[in-house]
């Protein structure tokens, strides 16, 4: 698939440090999850190069943060325009290494680019405050300054957007960055880096360290332990997030963590059922169920339960599984064999405990899994507690509003949640009662660049996107001026 790139120079396989492409002494392979085909061998860097990248980011920090917001805006806008202009090629690289259907990959490029545009605009708005004095010989100011060198560790499910959502606000704020992209999807990260280089970021402002799974652990450890790195932003599993948090404790690093979810999707008796079905399909099966905001537990009230299951199942049967480059495909492969094992384990457990398979239920060829719906799910099943991260929708039954709220909140996670209702009182009650960072009300897809994305409880810390996303990368400084 990569032979068809309009601009073949977007296919980069070296890492990027201090404005130079760095090959290192080892390489690791990248494969197409749809076909198993070998796509490229990418530079596998380690501790020495991590040190160089941190040093480069630190060396250029004074001049980058000294630029005006408007100057940083100009470079970010060029990067944004290049991303939009090359969206077909980047999407092609993304579908090849990640598997998501090509139209969905293009959607991610546009979504990912929108963070660059948004934060380019926000670069001009890192405003401070003046406060009323507490005696008349003083004046009180609050200024906001870039935090310094930042590290970003990103996952494979959104190979582009999880980079831009962290890096664009950091750069806009006047920080410099070292990025460690996921080892399963480094090619998208490097294509985006090539465009950043063309946009004209000064050498060292943006550095990308690629490494294989074992190398990523070493690189990650060093980013955490460095006292030059002032901020770590991570998107990935809760398990790794906890580890990184512990590794950052000795240097008391500021953290932004976007971890696992276990999203409830509640359908009340008074919902518009057709709309709820569409929302559930969009939320559950996007990226073949491999997003942290995918509906993981669908709760449906007694009165509409059977009808919902019937309509939902019918709609799921229309999903088309296949290679993301084939037209009409809505479900690509899962990222790796272990992901299929997890879906299978959740299905086997549910069936053993009385779950009823309504659609799918089995592996297809290669790394493809049939979109699956299981009815009669209950709280004793693994699917009630663990995030499946695959195309399995368990449908639970409930009777009262309070039962739905209690079930939805009975998890250590708190990222996205969804519910469908047309009762305005209920909308406010339930919206306020859900212990989640985000609530979709009569909406199954809620992410965009100008809203605060993030979770509560063990789903993470901080918010990405919106004006709050810039705050992550700014320190507040209070100036008390005497003798005025
Ligand atoms: P996922 O479950 O989405 O694969 P992971 O949390 O395993 O998420 O991986 C997300 C990112 O974290 C990837 O870039 C991966 O290389 C990195 N990573 C995984 N384990 C570690 C670790 N022990 N230290 C640092 N980074 C890690």
Q: State pLDDT tens for residues 133-174.
A: 999 999 999 999 999 999 999 999 999 999 999 999 999 999
Instruction: Tell me the C-alpha distance between 109 and 86, whole Å.
Output: 9
Closest to 96 measured CA to CA, from 213, 2, 201: 2
- Helix/strand/coil (H, E, C) string of 308-360? HHHHHHHHHHCCCECCCCCCCCCECCCCCHHHHHHHHHHHHHHHHCCCEEEEC
Q: State pLDDT tens for residues 87-112.
A: 999 999 999 999 999 999 999 999 99
Contact 123, 72 (CB under 8 A): yes
**What is the predicted pLDDT for the residue at 351?**
98
Could you tell me which residues are beta bridge partners of residue 234?
A: 153, 257
Q: Quick one: average pLDDT of 294-309?
A: 98
Contacts of 439 (CB under 8 A, 6+ apart): 416, 417, 418, 419, 431
Q: How many angstroms does the Cα of residue 91 sit away from the middle of ligand 1?
A: 23
Instruction: Tell me the C-alpha distance between 62 and 476, whole Å.
Output: 18
* Helices 238-248 and 213-225: angle between axes, nearest 10 degrees: 40
Token digits for 365?
Answer: 């060829």
- With bands split at pLDDT 50, 70 and 90, how would you rate the model's confidence at 79? very high
What is the rounded average pLDDT for all residues in the chain? Answer: 98
Our answer to whether residue 258 is catalytic in this structure is yes
Percent of the chain scored above 90 by pLDDT?
Answer: 99
Q: How many angstroms does the Cα of residue 275 sit away from the middle of ligand 1?
A: 36
Strand 20-22 with 27-31, pairing? unpaired
Closest ligand 1 atom to 153 CA: 14
Counting every residue written for the chain, the total comes to 484
Closest ligand 1 atom to 182 CA: 14
Mutate to test the pocket of ligand 1, among 160, 208, 216, 257 (most ligand atoms within 8 A of CB): 216
Catalytic residue among 104, 108, 258, 387, which? 258
Q: Quick one: average pLDDT of 310-321?
A: 98
| Helix, strand, coil share of the chain (percent; to 5) | 45, 20, 35
Mutate to test the pocket of ligand 1, among 33, 153, 338 (most ligand atoms within 8 A of CB): 153
Residue closest via CA to ligand 1's atom 21 equals 217
Closest ligand 1 atom to 157 CA: 3
**Cβ atoms within 10 Å of 282's Cβ, excluding its own:** 14
Residue closest via CA to ligand 1's atom 24 equals 217
DSSP 312: H
**What is the predicted pLDDT for the residue at 1?**
86
Q: Quick one: average pLDDT of 114-123?
A: 98
Q: Quick one: average pLDDT of 250-254?
A: 98
Contacts of 219 (CB under 8 A, 6+ apart): 45, 46, 47, 50, 180, 209, 211
What interface predicted TM-score (ipTM) does this complex get?
0.97
**What is the predicted pLDDT for the residue at 414?**
98
Answering whether pTM is above 0.80, one says yes
Ligand 1: which residues within 6 Å by Cβ? 153-155, 180, 182-183, 216-217, 220, 236-237, 240, 243-244
Contact 326, 99 (CB under 8 A): no
Residue closest via CA to ligand 1's atom 23 equals 217
Closest to 261 measured CA to CA, from 103, 455, 45: 455
**Cβ atoms within 10 Å of 128's Cβ, excluding its own:** 14
**What is the predicted pLDDT for the residue at 41?**
98
Q: State pLDDT tens for residues 218-241.
A: 999 999 999 999 999 999 999 999
Mutate to test the pocket of ligand 1, among 99, 154, 155 (most ligand atoms within 8 A of CB): 155
Residue closest via CA to ligand 1's atom 27 equals 217
Q: Which helix (H) or strand (E) holds 213?
A: helix 213-225
Contacts of 264 (CB under 8 A, 6+ apart): 295, 296, 297, 298, 299, 404, 407, 408, 417, 418, 419, 434
């Amino acid at each position: 698939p990569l032979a068809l790139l309009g601009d073949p120079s977007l296919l980069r396989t070296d890492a990027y440090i201090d404005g130079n492409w760095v090959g290192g002494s080892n390489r690791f392979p990248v494969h197409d999850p749809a076909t198993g085909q070998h796509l490229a061998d990418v530079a596998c860097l380690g501790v020495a190069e991590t040190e160089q990248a941190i040093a480069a980011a630190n060396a250029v920090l004074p001049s980058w943060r000294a630029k005006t917001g408007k100057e940083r805006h100009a470079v970010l806008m060029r990067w944004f325009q290049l991303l939009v202009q090359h969206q077909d090629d980047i999407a092609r690289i993304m579908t090849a290494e990640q598997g998501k259907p090509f139209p969905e990959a293009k959607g991610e490029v546009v979504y990912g680019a929108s963070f660059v545009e948004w934060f380019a605009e926000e670069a001009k708005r890192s405003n401070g405050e003046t406060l009323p004095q507490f005696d008349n010989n003083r004046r009180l100011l609050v200024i906001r300054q870039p935090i310094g060198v930042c590290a970003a560790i990103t996952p494979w499910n959104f190979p582009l957007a999880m980079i831009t959502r962290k890096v664009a606000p950091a750069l806009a704020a006047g920080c410099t960055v070292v990025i460690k992209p996921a080892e399963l999807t480094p090619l998208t990260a490097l294509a985006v880096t090539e465009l950043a280089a063309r946009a004209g970021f000064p050498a060292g402002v943006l550095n990308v360290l690629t490494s294989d799974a074992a190398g990523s652990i070493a690189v990650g450890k060093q980013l955490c332990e460095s006292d030059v790195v002032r901020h770590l932003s991570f998107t990935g599993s809760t398990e790794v997030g906890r580890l990184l948090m512990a590794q950052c404790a000795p240097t008391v690093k500021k953290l932004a963590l976007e971890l696992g979810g276990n999203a409830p999707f509640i359908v009340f008796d008074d919902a518009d059922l057709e709309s709820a079905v569409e929302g559930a399909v969009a939320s559950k099966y996007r990226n073949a169920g491999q997003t942290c905001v995918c509906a993981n537990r669908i709760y449906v009230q007694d009165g509409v339960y059977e009808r919902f299951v019937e309509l939902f199942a019918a709609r799921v049967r229309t999903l088309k599984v296949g290679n993301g480059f084939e037209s009409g495909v809505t479900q690509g492969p899962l990222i790796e064999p272990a992901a299929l094992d997890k879906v299978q384990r959740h299905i086997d457990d549910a069936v053993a405990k009385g779950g009823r398979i309504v659609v799918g239920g089995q592996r297809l060829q290669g790394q493809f899994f049939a979109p699956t719906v299981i009815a009669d799910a209950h709280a004793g099943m693994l699917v009630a507690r663990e995030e499946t991260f695959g195309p399995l929708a368990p449908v639970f039954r409930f009777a009262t509003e309070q039962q739905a709220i209690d079930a939805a909140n009975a998890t250590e996670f708190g990222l996205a949640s969804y519910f469908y209702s047309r009762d305005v009182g209920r909308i406010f009650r339930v919206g306020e009662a859900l212990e989640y960072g985000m609530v979709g009300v009569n909406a199954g897809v809620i992410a965009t660049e100008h809203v605060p994305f993030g979770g509560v409880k063990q789903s993470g810390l901080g918010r990405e996107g919106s004006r709050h996303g810039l705050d992550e990368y700014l320190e507040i400084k209070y100036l008390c001026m005497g003798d005025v």
